[in-house]
Structure 1
Amino acid sequence: MTCLKPKHLQKGDTVGVIAPASPPNLENLERGIQFLIGLGLNVKKGKSVEKINGYLAGTDLERLDDLHGMFLDKEVKAIICACGGYGTGRIAANIDYEIIRNNPKILWGYSDITFLHTAIRQETGLVTFHGPMLGSDIGKVDTHPLSKERFLQLFSPAKLTYTEEISPLEVLVEGDVSGPLIGGNLSLLVSSLGTRFEVDTKEKLLLIEDVNEEPRAIDRMLNQLYMSGKLEEASGILIGDFCDCLPKRDLSLTLDEIIDYYVKLANKPAIKGLQIGHCNPHIAVPFGVQATLNTTEKRLIVDSGIK
């Protein structure tokens, strides 16, 4: 499918804020909104952002209406997610992807938003952005400046060059490879398997990250990706942050042992240590654009996600 890049932002533009999964921390959300205002943007909140329906930010229909409404709203130039949690998979089958295809604009988020990244890219070709969210990241008082700085990629087309100047990197499998960058949260990628939105990894650079999962659970999910052929079909594998993925039992393999095992089974060029995921700083990247991994130089180059 043709790569569809959204238009860049300008100061004075309006951005929409939605909560397509769980309800955000409202105090953090307000600080996150003030950050956007500080970038020269106007902010329009979705109707269900402050609603609570158990672990969901309103009903499925309310969250779906917010998503559709922001894409249809001609005034809104970008859609920024308030937080993740759980719930995007519940609305994916009912999204009108023609609305998105006919009104391409920036969509930004991560974690549970991974399901939206995958579904929207594969149904429409739209480039989306895997980046820190307002209520769960940007609105926290200790947010790293690098996390905030990566929002600037939305204003002017620029490639990202990720090297060890950002974080230490470890080569797991050597090789130079290119392909569209895709992926996100491991749990959500695995949950797409067997559905209409099953993640397509063929000849793509696959990024994975996760949070609060025991090594045994990471093992199970990576094994499922491996047995389904998703790791071997990828052109390369990028290991992001696995935050607090610690064993809760005495007998356990380490997280590094598990990741190394499956990556080496797949035998595709791979690098570990990227500060992408549930981490601080969190380096935001566009999904669906071309990227190049050079393990000799420990360098990842990602094309701009906007036009």
Structure 2
Amino acid sequence: MNKREFLKSLTIGTLAMPFSSLADEHSNAYILHAAQLLAPRLQKGETIGLIAPAGVLDMEESITIAREIFQVLGFRVKEGNHIRSRYGHLAGTDQERIADIHQMFSDREVKAIVCIRGGAGTSRLLDRLDYNMIAKNPKILLGYSDITALIMALYTKTGLVTFHGAVGISTWTNKVAKSFEAQFVDNILPIFANPVDKGDHIVQYKERITTWRPGQAEGILLGGNMTVLTGLCGSPYLPDFKDSILFLEEVDENIERVDRMFCQLRLSGILSVIKGFVFGKCTGCGPSGGYGSLTLEQVFRDYIEPLDIPAYSGAMIGHIADQFILPVGVRVRIDADKGTLEVLQPTLTS
């Protein structure tokens, strides 16, 4: 048995012990994971699986481009059986999308799973996933936006560290591609910071961060898309946020709804127990109509500043090019003055 196989078996064995009495392999009876679960790192030439757990793919070219991206990076690609399916606005029925998730996790040839797009509908699948099988086959999972539901559920139910970042139809710049290789192939612990590029100006205008409360904080990194995450409040698919670093992003929402979601996070008790806060981009967010609107800055002052914890916004997280690929479920340190997020522990087995 090589080192990778030994670490995998050791981690899985530790995870399985508290649930050895479960009679049904598909049981969703447990809520909290037993231990952090890491997937093996990638090697060039291995196979990446493409799945569509959420919205439908309207163009064949989207699949072609996604496949070409990973082939250029030096990997083989296996497509889910149902990524061309359609059921209304969804990429197939719930049963079809679940089948592709289960297929990719159980397929020994597949070493990493990339969601080809977000959209909507992932939350519909959570109560029917085989978490025990997934825990026995830990793999890299990459996605964002609606995939937040799957990221949160897998960490909550199995402890699996997954990754919030570019999907198959994202714009894969050289920077994103290098980040993918550094994290998944070289297994480097990253420090995430916005680019510093003043261009022809004497101060930086683009990609600035705003510090809402200064200082540093450490905790387990948890979060994702704000709409999807708040939609899971009250369900058994959100983890305990105590002493965590919460990160959020949003797209195409008016500020009234953003305010409502922050209120839900406060009323549910999540904001009161976190150690630090990072907000990415609110792409396409604007005021609601009528008699006026709060600004996003006012929302941060109302909900984030009173927490008196290190907090900043403007990080390269969300529906943008060159977005960070964040490991969800590992210990990180943020510096709200500098706008940095440093990963402190391994995200994959070597």
Same fold by TM (over 0.5)?
yes
- Which residue in the other structure is 1:161 paired with? 191
- Which residue in the other structure is 2:122 paired with? 88
Is contact 1:193–1:199 with CA below 8 Å preserved after alignment? no
Is contact 2:156–2:238 with CA below 8 Å preserved after alignment? no
- TM-score, normalising length: structure 2: 0.83
- Which residue in the other structure is 2:317 paired with? 276
Is contact 1:189–1:199 with CA below 8 Å preserved after alignment? no
- Which residue in the other structure is 2:65 paired with? 31
Number of aligned pairs? 302
- Which residue in the other structure is 1:305 paired with? 347
Is contact 2:333–2:341 with CA below 8 Å preserved after alignment? yes
What is the CA distance between 1:175 and its match in structure 2? 2.1
Where 1:36 maps in the other structure, the secondary structure is helix
The Cα RMSD (Å) is 1.4
- Which residue in the other structure is 2:4 paired with? none
State the Cα deviation string for residues 186-229 of structure 1 (Å, max 9, x = none).
01110111111134211110000011110000000000001111
State the Cα deviation string for residues 11-37 of structure 1 (Å, max 9, x = none).
110111000011134313311210100
- TM-score, normalising length: structure 1: 0.94
- Which residue in the other structure is 2:107 paired with? 73
Mark the runs of 5 or more structure 2 residues left unpaired by the alignment: 1-33, 197-206
What is the CA distance between 1:297 and its match in structure 2? 3.8
Q: 1-side partners of 2:127 and 2:195: how far apart?
A: 41
1:1-307 equivalent positions in 2, closer than 5 A: 1-24=34-57, 25-135=59-169, 137-138=170-171, 143-152=172-181, 153-165=183-195, 167-250=207-290, 251-303=292-344, 304-307=346-349
- Which residue in the other structure is 2:18 paired with? none
What is the CA distance between 1:266 and its match in structure 2? 2.5
Q: 2-side partners of 1:130 and 1:98: how far apart?
A: 22
State the Cα deviation string for residues 95-127 of structure 1 (Å, max 9, x = none).
010011100010110000001111100111110
Is contact 1:18–1:46 with CA below 8 Å preserved after alignment? yes
Distance 1:164 1:73, change over 3 A: closer
- The one-letter code of the counterpart of 1:278 is H
- Which residue in the other structure is 2:200 paired with? none
Compare CA radii of gyration and give the structure with the larger one: 2
Distance 1:247 1:191, change over 3 A: same
- The one-letter code of the counterpart of 2:219 is G
Is contact 1:132–1:282 with CA below 8 Å preserved after alignment? yes
Q: 2-side partners of 1:280 and 1:11: how far apart?
A: 24
Poorly superposed stretches of 4+, deviation over 6 Å? none
